[in-house]
Structure 1
Amino acid sequence: MVRVPSPALSAAVLSGLAVLFMGVLLSGCSGQASAASPSAVSGDTPVRVRLAPVVVEEVTRPIRASGALAGKQEVRLSTKVGGVVQTVAIDEGQKARRGQVLAALDLSEIGPQVAQAREAREKAARDLERVKKLHADQVATLAQLQDATTGYEVADAAWRAASFNQRQATVVAPSDGRILKRMVEPGEVVSPGQPLFLFASTEGGWVVRVGLADRDVVRVKEGDAAEVTLDAYPGRAFRARVSEVASAATPGVGTAEVELALELGRPGGDGQGGSEAPPRLLSGLSAKAVVTPSERQSVRLVPVEALLEGDGEVASVFTLAEDGRTARRQRVRVAFLSAGDGRAALSEGPGAGARVITEGVAFLRDGQSVTVVEASSGGATSRR
């Protein structure tokens, strides 16, 4: 048998279900409202920020490059004539003194040529003296005297050429220096002009040769200051000066070579006040250089903290609008970063007098309301 609920009970059940349904519905609506409230509040609540002025200054933009250490005077030593190498008197890496014999060819072929030229010269000299006496006695004609004079001059020139070739068969050190590379052994047959040694003179000092892009090389002049660091001596800096600037770009590379002369002989030239021992330098050591051009340029300086979303040279900053309560986003172009004082130099961006936001940048959007926080001696004060 089926029991039919009373009308009062049915009304009570229906009323309870209605109340439960409304509670669930209101709970869902309140959840949606609470989820949306942070975004609504973030759009209306001002963000606390700090400002810094845009400063326009005349500065020098440093140029960074890498290169290799080399002797100022590096030459390939060779002989003018070919022949068989008889002796090699020095090894690779050894020091050499000016005039020291480094290698010599066998003179078995060159020696007789010099002797033959000497004998021919002496015979021509005797013939000239005899013709001079005969011409004085009016026995020889003027033409005969002129022919004898010409014969002597030709023989003398041949003797001097043979003597010169004989001297060039010996390789000597042109100055004090070091053998960087030895490319010959005794008994080898060498051709005229074939390099036998790579020689670095210590009298010309040490240089670092770097390749600069066209936009950088036009700002560099001879005499500009530079600082060089070597991978072989980490943490040690060497003073240098621009000694040469190429007038043409290197074919196939597109960069121009700039030569930096190290000032090792000056006090503090090693960047340590001269307290450390002179470094042992080798040709080919990897080097990094920072050149400071004497030319100055006007740039706009802002703290690095103000930059946002940098992509190469392009970035953004937020500036304070004229109403003093709104942040405006502006695109800028970064010329370089100054590691010494933590500022960025802008070639394009807000002008002098503008104020950029340095703190709270990550929470801003274009048109965002802001509250400027200023530091004071008694603590932090705020102004809308």
Structure 2
Amino acid sequence: MVRAPSPTVSAALLGGFAVLLTGLLSSGCSGSASAATTPASSGEAPVRVRLASVVTEEVARPVRASGTLAGKQEVRLSTKVGGVVQTVNSDEGRKVKRGQVLAALDLSEIGPLVAQAREAREKALRDLERVKALHAQQVATLAQLQDATTGYEVADAAWRAAAFNQRQATVLAPSDGRILKRMVEPGEVVSPGQPLFLFASADSGWVVRVGLADRDVVRVQEGDAAEVTLDAYPGRTFPARVSEVASAATPGVGTAEVELALDVRTSGAEAPRLLSGLSAKAVVTPSQRQAVQLVPVEALLEGDGEVASVFTLDGDGRTARRQRVRVAFLSGTDGRAALSEGPGGGTRVITDGVAFLRDGQAVAVVEAPSGGPTSRR
């Protein structure tokens, strides 16, 4: 005897068939959708772009560096002997004349030493004159005359040394100039050679000293032109020339010092008030030139250090091709990038629209002749 299926089992079977049918329909629909979108993606509209030609030129790669302003001849003035500072006659920033007394030590100790040496010299001179007279009368021997002569010469040398030290107890301005820094006050006890003033000669001029890395300093030589800007005078540019190039790197730093002679002569503009130690930025144009490929900066894409990318136009004139390049430097004057490795002179690179491209992208070149912009595919 055959029994009829229960309502519960029938409902379960029908539900399972419904789920299966829904899955089949869903997979079929999704497959149809994928097939429908593929042709659409392949038929996308080309990107409108503009081109620029790669130009090969020999240019001077600029060298950029930062440094400080200083007087050409800056001297640390000090005394040869130690002692107590008695007077200080000049302050920072003051102009001084050649031979002007800037500071002096108390001579209470040095003066008696000089007087003692002078008296010893005078006594030795009297002894020598007496022995000479006795020797002329054949009373004194030649050995006695030689001993008296030696005694006088020793005493005279000691007096001259004491007198020299006495003169060195006074600090004099070596030339017309300016006191850049004062490092002493009256009453201080100073040691021999301790700097008391930082002095800059008036006729020595101003220089900017910068430290250059090894790959840059080898391209710079004396006489190369430069431009200097000072943070204290924004917007003003001062011409300069390379006056000195160090022949050895600074120990512990690894850079070589280069000195730029600054030309502060102005044509109609107010003469700048310069101070030693001002921050400066310099751009040196070496006389050494190198062949590079020049492209507009906007043609570069995804720069990473010296490596970047550009898009060039394929041979069919309708496809963009991505190419890796190596950037030598960027020109801040004409908005171009110098490439040490690139697509080659005469090649046309894409400038406008480069941000929307991928390798193999279809493009439409937009040109701008004199009659107005047109497009071609």
Which bin holds the TM-score, normalised by the shorter protein?
Answer: 0.7 to 0.9
Q: For residue 252 of structure 1, what is the amino acid of its counterpart? A: G
Deviates more, 1:132-141 or 1:177-186: 132-141
Deviates more, 1:339-348 or 1:362-371: 362-371
Distance 1:116 1:29, change over 3 A: same
CA distance in 2 between counterparts of 1:379 and 1:26 reads 52
CA distance in 2 between counterparts of 1:78 and 1:40 reads 84
**3-state SS of 2:50 partner:** strand
- Correspondence 1:195-234 to 2 at 5 A: 195-234=195-234
Structure 1 match to 2:250: 250
**3-state SS of 1:180 partner:** strand
Structure 2 match to 1:364: 357
TM-score (norm 1): 0.85
1:110-165 deviations in Å (ceiling 9; x for gaps): 11111111111122222222222332333322222221221111111101100000
TM-score (norm 2): 0.87
State whether structure 2 residue 337 is matched by structure 1 residue 344. yes
CA distance in 2 between counterparts of 1:25 and 1:380 reads 49
**3-state SS of 2:317 partner:** coil
1:219-250 deviations in Å (ceiling 9; x for gaps): 11111111111111111111111111111222
- Correspondence 1:1-384 to 2 at 5 A: 39-42=41-44, 45-265=45-265, 268=266, 274-384=267-377
Q: For residue 183 of structure 2, what is the amino acid of its counterpart? A: M
**3-state SS of 2:229 partner:** strand
1:249-278 deviations in Å (ceiling 9; x for gaps): 22222211111111124xx4xxxxx21121
Deviates more, 1:60-69 or 1:198-207: 198-207
CA distance in 1 between counterparts of 2:88 and 2:136 reads 55
CA distance in 1 between counterparts of 2:153 and 2:159 reads 10
**3-state SS of 2:184 partner:** coil
CA distance in 2 between counterparts of 1:319 and 1:149 reads 96
**3-state SS of 1:178 partner:** strand
1:277-319 deviations in Å (ceiling 9; x for gaps): 2111111111111111111111110111211111221110011
**3-state SS of 2:174 partner:** coil
CA distance in 2 between counterparts of 1:113 and 1:263 reads 50
CA distance in 2 between counterparts of 1:350 and 1:307 reads 12
1:10-42 deviations in Å (ceiling 9; x for gaps): xxxxxxxxxxxxxx9999999878866663322
Q: For residue 230 of structure 1, what is the amino acid of its counterpart? A: L
**3-state SS of 1:216 partner:** helix
Structure 2 contact 96–173 (Cα < 8 Å) conserved: yes
Deviates more, 1:374-383 or 1:138-147: 374-383
- Work out the number of aligned pairs and report it: 352
Structure 2 contact 264–272 (Cα < 8 Å) conserved: no
**3-state SS of 1:317 partner:** strand
Structure 1 unaligned regions, length at least 5: 1-23, 269-273
CA distance in 1 between counterparts of 2:348 and 2:30 reads 46
CA distance in 1 between counterparts of 2:84 and 2:47 reads 86
CA distance in 1 between counterparts of 2:259 and 2:36 reads 68
Distance 1:165 1:372, change over 3 A: same
CA distance in 2 between counterparts of 1:32 and 1:350 reads 39
Structure 2 contact 59–290 (Cα < 8 Å) conserved: yes
Structure 2 unaligned regions, length at least 5: 1-25
Cα shift at 1:87: 0.9
Q: For residue 349 of structure 1, what is the amino acid of its counterpart? A: G
Q: For residue 185 of structure 2, what is the amino acid of its counterpart? A: E
CA distance in 1 between counterparts of 2:37 and 2:268 reads 67
CA distance in 1 between counterparts of 2:279 and 2:204 reads 20
**Deviation beyond 4 Å, 4+ runs, structure 1:** 24-38
